[in-house]
Amino acid sequence: MSTGERIFVIIAVLATIVWVAVVWFALTTPPIRVLTVSTTFHLKRTRLPGNPADDYEEFDSNRRFVGRIMLHPQAPKDQPWFWTITAREIPPLVHNHGYSATREQAMTDFKARYMGATRGSR
């Protein structure tokens, strides 16, 4: 067997080993869990006794509880609406809550922060 033939056989064997390893890895590795990001949120008034009328729970499109928006009595006067993200898939951070001037702005701020947190920006 010539040197060229030996090199060809070695390359063919190595390519086969690599191919088998790739197939084995693909078959034995569990699928990656992808975090699906909901872009639609729904507000629902809280039904807890003693809570004021301007206290809302925030749900995503899968009906999972992801946070709250409320008119907070101790908030700054120019930004009385408090929002906070409580979703389990988002780690608790100081940036996951804030104050807004209106309820609609609180909803917008909540959504922007939630979407940024689920994309990995901190």
Predicted TM-score (pTM) of the model is 0.62
Q: Are residues 104 and 81 in the same domain?
A: yes
Residue 92 is predicted with a pLDDT of 78
45 and 78 assigned to the same domain: yes
Domain check: are 83 and 54 in the same one?
yes
Considering the domain architecture, whether residues 75 and 104 belong to the same structural domain is answered as yes
Report the percentage of the chain scoring pLDDT > 90. 25
Query: Taking Cα atoms as reference points, which of 21, 39, 46 lies closest to residue 108?
Result: 39
Same domain, 104 and 63: yes
Evaluate whether 41 touches 107 at the Cβ level (below 8 Å): yes
- Are residues 67 and 104 located together in one domain of the fold? yes
Write the DSSP assignment of 74-119 as a string of letters: TS-TT--EEEEE--TTS---TTSEEEESSHHHHHHHHHHHHHHHHT
Calculate the average pLDDT of the chain.
82
Q: Which of 1-10, 21-30, 34-43, 89-98 has the lowest mean pLDDT?
A: 34-43
My answer on whether 93 and 114 are in the same domain is yes
Residue 69 has pLDDT above 60, yes or no: yes
Whether 105 shows a pLDDT value over 90: the answer reads yes
Regarding whether 51 and 93 lie in a shared domain, the answer is yes
Does 24 share its domain with 66?
no
Say yes or no to pLDDT of 67 above 50. yes
Q: How many domains, the chain?
A: 2
Instruction: Based on the fold, state whether residues 27 and 47 are members of the same structural domain.
Output: no
Same domain, 21 and 62: no
Q: What is the pLDDT of residues 19-40, one digit of tens each?
A: 888 777 777 766 554 455 557 8
Provide the residue range defining the domain that includes 21.
1-32
Q: How confident is the model at residue 49 (pLDDT cuts 50, 70, 90)?
A: confident
What is residue 84's predicted lDDT score, i.e. its pLDDT?
93
User: What pLDDT score does 99 carry?
Assistant: 95
